[in-house]
Structure 1
Amino acid sequence: MKLFLIRHGQSEADILNVHEGKADFPLTDLGIKQANSLGSYLRKNYQIDIIWSSTLKRAAQTSEIVRTYLDCSIMYDDRLQERNNGILAGKPITEENVDTYYSLKPFERIEEGESDLEFRARAESILLKIIDNSKKTDHVAIVTHGGMIEKCIHSLLHLPTVNKTYFYTGDTGIHLFEHNDSNTIIKFLNRTEHLHGVR
């Protein structure tokens, strides 16, 4: 199975400079262009059989735009949403807020949110479900969020639940893995060549 982990396009939260997480912002005009460029790139270079998508607007919009370029269906699942950042969702990004969030221990939650351990468990649960449901599918795309992608990669690579390995994903960045019961092969990480010239 070829497994594509793909981040959504630019959202309005990026322009407003606010914490996103569970906050539900749509794509910007640039984000829509990025999603169209992504769809065109995938159509020219790969065969996508199914898209699994987060239900948050920025990911769902990206998936819907990409599907217009591909002959495939979309499966939406709430478990693919970004980490629940509780009371920080939609609030301005300040040094104090960032320090508070990143000083949390893995088992601690921000108020009304989820812990890092809970987030990893959620990511691993939905990833395993997708893999199990896709045994007869050759090319599976997951359109989701940067944090969720990182946790899925941790799971695919069997990294410890608590670790200091970070994987960055730019707007509509693509990570490609070949995965089977025996092994997982990293083909490439955070490919964004489809965005050249997109403004």
Structure 2
Amino acid sequence: MELLIVRHGQSEADLLGVHEGRADFPLTKLGEQQAIVMSTYVAEHFPPDLILASPLLRAKSTAETLQKFVGCDLLLEKDLMEFNNGVLAGLSREEARVKYPLPPSGRPIHIPIELGESALEFRFRAEKIFHQILLDYQSYNRVAIVSHGGLISHFINAFLKQPNTSEYEFATGDTGIHLLDIKENKRIIKFLNRQEHLKRC
């Protein structure tokens, strides 16, 4: 079973310098174009049999564009949403620093941000949806997952069987693509954060 993991295109929050997370910003015009060239590339080289996507606008729109190019089913999955950053969602970084300053040594991993989730809960959620996908969609040869940078990083950690407090993070650029493969008892990384399609933008 192959897992084709795609981050959404550029969103309006990227230009505004705000905390995004659960703030539901749409794609920019560039983000829409990025989704089109990514979809063209995926349809040509790695067409999925099914698309699973976060319901947040930036990921949902990216997934809908991909669906138009490959023609398979698209299902929305709330556990693929980005980190629930609670009171920080949509705030400018300057305003957030004033209103909700971090403790000197940082927020403990088990303590949630106000109205949001903790870093540990976020990691557990990625672990949960990873195993759910493996169980529920094992009959598919290739499943595309359209999500967000933070969730994708934790998802890859789940794939690699890293501990809950793993120090490893995996960067994903706009419409960056990762391809993971599970064969019998082997977990294979075919590539990470491929963005060569953006040369067409």
TM-score of the alignment, normalized to the shorter chain, above 0.5: yes
Q: Given the alignment of the two structures, is residue 196 of structure 1 paired with residue 199 of structure 2, yes or no?
A: yes
Q: Is the contact between residue 7 and residue 172 of structure 2 (CA under 8 Å) also seen in structure 1?
A: yes
Q: Determine helix, strand or coil for the equivalent of 1:69.
A: helix
The equivalent residue for 1:125 is 128
TM-aligned CA deviation for residue 183 of structure 1: 1.8
**Structure 1 position 181, deviation (Å):** 4.2
In the alignment, the residues of structure 1 paired with residue 111 and residue 25 of structure 2 have an alpha-carbon distance, to the nearest angstrom, of 26
What SS class does the counterpart of residue 100 from structure 1 fall into? Answer: coil
Return the alpha-carbon distance in structure 1 between the equivalents of residues 38 and 60 of structure 2. Answer: 14
For residues 200 and 102 of structure 2, the distance between their equivalents in structure 1, rounded to whole angstroms, comes to 37
- Further displaced range: 30-39 or 172-181: 172-181
| Deviation sequence 1:176-198 (CA, Å, 0-9, x none) | 11113412100000000000141
The answer for the alignment partner of 2:141 in structure 1 is 138
Specify whether residues 103 and 181 from structure 1 end up closer, same or farther in structure 2 by C-alpha distance, changes over 3 A only.
Answer: farther
* Correspondence for 1:164 among 154, 164, 167: 167
Per-residue deviation, residues 70-111 of structure 1 (Å, max 9, x unmatched): 021101011110010010000002383797299211101111
For 1:174-193, what aligned pairs fall within 5 Å after superposition? Answer: 174-193=177-196
Could you state the TM-score of these two structures normalised by the residue count of structure 2? 0.94
Aligned to 2:102: 100
AA aligned opposite 2:53 = S
- 1:59 match: 59
Summarize deviations over 1:29-82 as a string: whole Å, max 9, x none.
000000000100011111210000000000000000111100211010111100
Could you tell me which runs of 5 or more consecutive residues in structure 1 were left unpaired when the two chains were aligned: none
SS at match of 1:109: coil
User: 1:150 pairs with 144, 147, 153, which one?
Assistant: 153
2:37 matched residue in structure 1: 37
Between 94-103 and 22-31, the greater mean CA deviation after superposition? 94-103
| Structure 1 segment 106-117 matched on structure 2, within 5 A | 106-117=109-120
For these two proteins, the number of residue pairs brought into alignment is: 198
**Structure 2: which amino acid aligns with 1:8?**
H
For 1:23 and 1:43, the matched residues in 2 are separated by 30
Distance in structure 2 (CA, Å) of the matches to 1:58 and 1:164: 27
1:64-103 counterparts in 2 under 5 A? Answer: 64-94=64-94, 96=97, 100=102, 103=106
Counterpart CA distance in 1 for 2:41 and 2:47 is 11
Percent identity between matched residues is 44
* Runs of 4+ more than 4 Å apart: none
How far the C-alpha of 1:115 sits from its partner, in A, is 0.4
RMSD of the alignment, in Å?
A: 1.6
Once residues 93 and 194 of structure 1 are traced to their aligned partners in structure 2, the CA distance between those partners, rounded to angstroms, is 31
**TM-score with structure 1 setting the length:** 0.95
